[in-house]
Amino acid sequence: MDKKVLIVTSSLRANSNSDMLAQAFAEGAKAAGNTVETISLKGKNIAFCKGCMACRKTLKCAIRDDANEIAEAVREADVVVWATPVYYYCISGQLKTLLDRCNPLYTSDYKFRNVYLLATAAEDEESAAEGSVKAVQGWADCFEKARFSGAVFCGGVDAPAEIAGNPALQRAYDLGKTV
Domain ranges of the chain: 4-177
Report CA-CA distances (Å) from 76 to 4, 42, 82, 111: 8, 21, 15, 6
pLDDT, one tens digit per residue, over 77-91 is 999 999 999 999 999
pLDDT, one tens digit per residue, over 13-45 is 999 999 999 999 999 999 999 999 999 999 999
Return the CA Rg of the chain: 15
CATH fold group of domain 4-177 = Rossmann fold (3.40.50)
pTM for the full model? 0.97
pLDDT value of residue 113:
98
